[in-house]
Amino acid sequence: KIEINNYKYDKFNNLIEVIRNSIPKETYPIPVVGGRFHYEIEKYRYVYNKDNLWIEKYWIVEDKEYLIEKRKFK
């Protein structure tokens, strides 16, 4: 089995897209023990504070957006 993952990053080096390809072709989503399912295409969106540090991270799959992480800076 060969799996190729392509990653895309924004100007702050935050991951914004993952595209997975495999040989032979896999059927997605793939369950992951102890984690989120892997989808063929996953996107991420960030909300930034005034210092350009992200405070909310969203995971986007199958046209649905999920808040997966929040941070606070003191």
Q: What is the pLDDT of residue 53?
A: 94
Q: Is the pLDDT of residue 74 over 90?
A: no
Q: What is the pLDDT of residue 47?
A: 97
CA 64 vs CA 5, 24, 27, 44, 58: distances in Å: 21, 27, 19, 11, 10
The Cα–Cα gap between 35 and 9 comes to: 22
Give which of 25, 8, 24, 28 is closest to 16, Cα–Cα. 8
Structure tokens belonging to residue 46? 């960030």
Q: 1-50: per-residue pLDDT in tens?
A: 899 999 999 999 999 999 999 999 999 999 999 999 999 999 999 999 99
Structure tokens belonging to residue 36? 């989120």
Q: 51-68: per-residue pLDDT in tens?
A: 999 999 999 999 999 999
The Cα–Cα gap between 38 and 25 comes to: 14
